[in-house]
Chains A and B, each alone.
Chain A
Amino acid sequence: MRIKDHPIIDFQRGKQVTFSFNGRQVTAYEGETIAAALHAAGVRVLSHSHKLKRPRGFFCAIGNCSSCLMQVNGEFNVRICITPAREGDRVEMQQGRGEIVEKT
């Protein structure tokens, strides 16, 4: 899904980093958001609605809509569309509303 040749833009991709999504390894380029990397890896369902359990994906990609909330390194409700992917990140599909976790 990554664009190789583009008539206008010369994509300068950074170093490769690897993170896990529900235990599976996903490759991203430094600077990419978790949402972008997951999309490139073909992951479209990011969570499920609380009541009806309908699938949810991202929608705005700029941090406005909260459609992309996931659990990242234990922290709940992270908007992954504006969170850069970092080496070793643990990204998980969140069950329910999540809790507030004290950061250390």
Chain B
Amino acid sequence: MKKPEIAIVGGGPAGLSAALSAVRQGAQVMLIDRDPVLGGQLVKQTHMFFGSKKQYAAIRGIDIPQKLLAALQEEGNGKFDPRVNTTVLGCYDDGVLLLEKEDRAELIQPRKIIIATGAAEKMLPFPGNDLPGVYGAGAVQTLMNVYGIKPGTRVLMIGAGNIGLIVSYQLLQAGVEVTAIIEGAPKIGGYLVHATKVRRAGIPILTSHTIKKAYGCDSVEGAVLCNLDEKWCAVPGTEQSLAVDVICLAVGLTPQTELLWQAGCEQQYLPELGGYVPLRSEKMQTSLSHLFVAGDAACIEEAGSAMVEGKIAGLFAAADLGYAENVEALNETFSRELEELRSGPAGAKIRQGLSRLKGGAQVC
């Protein structure tokens, strides 16, 4: 059985940053991802990112993984072992991981594990939501931005959070018509600069609206919408029908925490952070001392914060193995970065969620 010093599950921005941070400290890292390319969500994000320079602001999401990978190749010094097309199926309480690659299983026993598995999409219940043509926003992005295939010709977007707004914009760039973006809440949840961008391209954003049903024979042919009142109840008589062949769901994400449940980490339900999230200290260490978390798996946030959390998790996982140079100074820098990212109104929900986390991960 292989015994890497640190195994990181998930090669998105959190996992890649954790790897870089740990190899910089001198630790040896195996980075495991089920996808054929590293980068996680970033490989589908064609737009420029917000944040500050430290988190690659104004650089397109798709271009960020190469930057992190180049640094890893350069500084990895043979200590960086990436494994793609490899799924982690099991995370046992004794610290053993079960990997699967092309139908072959392998057990490894890392000394430290960082879970950076990202998020899963939420579903919305409505009649007809099982029809072909009702797709998650992630699926639409995968088709369109990874394989270059249009998901359909006319799309109804459900959800005006950042994902709904950005995927709508990306659909326009791919030459697909977006008939409307609907949102149950009375306000747009995503960044308003994204909203103005799609709005001036002619896509109506209908707040206080929901989908009543999808219809179609073998696949989606249309949707019936209706208005919602302040109590989120459908307003009778407001139904309208839209002919579309794709209904794209962008109704939120929830941390992908299955491996953490398997291992027996303590978790807490915090809707502000996306659902069940693992308890962790300010070192991103869970209730099990060999297990760390970072990124959307710990709390649904942004790539910027995912990268910083990754750096912190990588730093302390390495420190626990004795690679303890400069830990305090580095941690201070990283913590300040996180604090900055979360300090504004956009971070209010995250701050509230973190403050309710049992055992108190430090709220920056």
Contacts and interface: CB of A to CB of B under 8 A. Distances in A.
A49 B62 contact: no
A6 B34 contact: no
Contacts of A31: 36
Given A3-B150, A6-B148, A8-B62, A61 B132 contact: no
Interface in A1-34: 1-3, 6-9, 11, 13, 31-33
Interface residues of A, number: 33
Interface in B160-177: 173-175
B136 A60 contact: yes
A3 B46 contact: no
A57 B138 contact: no
A55 interface: yes
Interface in A50-104: 54-64, 81-82, 103
Given A36-B143, A45-B219, A103-B103, A55 B34 contact: no
A62 B142 contact: yes
Contacts of B35: 62
Taking residues whose C-beta sits less than 8 angstroms from the other chain, chain B's interface range is 20 to 34
Given A8-B62, A62-B139, A63-B34, A57 B131 contact: yes
A33 B131 CA distance: 21
Contact of A55 (B60, B120, B131, B173): B131
Given A58-B139, A61-B139, A103-B103, A44 B132 contact: yes
Contacts of B134: 57, 59
Contacts of B136: 59-61
Contact of A44 (B36, B144, B145, B218): B218
Contacts of A6: 148, 173-174
Interface centre among B35, B62, B131, B139, by most A CB within 10 Å?
A: B139
A2 B149 contact: yes
A60 B138 contact: yes
A3 B147 CA distance: 9
B117 to A, nearest CB: 11
Label chain A's interface by main secondary structure. loop
B121 interface: yes
B151 interface: yes
Interface string B105-143: 000000000000000110000000011111110110011
A103 to B, nearest CB: 7
A8 B172 CA distance: 12
Interface centre among B133, B135, B149, B175, by most A CB within 10 Å?
A: B149
B274 to A, nearest CB: 16
A17 B135 CA distance: 26
Contacts of B46: 8-9
A36 B150 CA distance: 10
A44 B149 CA distance: 13
Given A9-B145, A40-B149, A45-B219, A60 B121 contact: yes
Nearest to A103: B103
Nearest to A28: B147
Contacts of B60: 8
Given A61-B142, A103-B103, A46 B132 contact: yes
Contacts of B150: 1-3
Contacts of A57: 131-135, 219
A59 B103 CA distance: 23
Contacts of B151: 39
A56 B130 contact: yes
Contact of B148 (A9, A54, A61, A103): A9
A-B residue pairs, 7 tightest by C-beta: A57-B132, A61-B139, A11-B148, A36-B147, A44-B132, A8-B46, A61-B142
Interface of B: 34-36, 46, 60, 62, 103, 120-121, 130-136, 138-139, 142-151, 173-175, 218-219
5 contacts: A11-B147, A13-B148, A55-B219, A62-B138, A62-B142
Given A45-B219, A54-B130, 17 more contacts: A3-B148, A3-B150, A3-B174, A6-B174, A9-B46, A13-B148, A36-B143, A55-B131, A55-B219, A57-B132, A57-B134, A60-B121, A60-B138, A61-B136, A61-B138, A62-B35, A62-B139
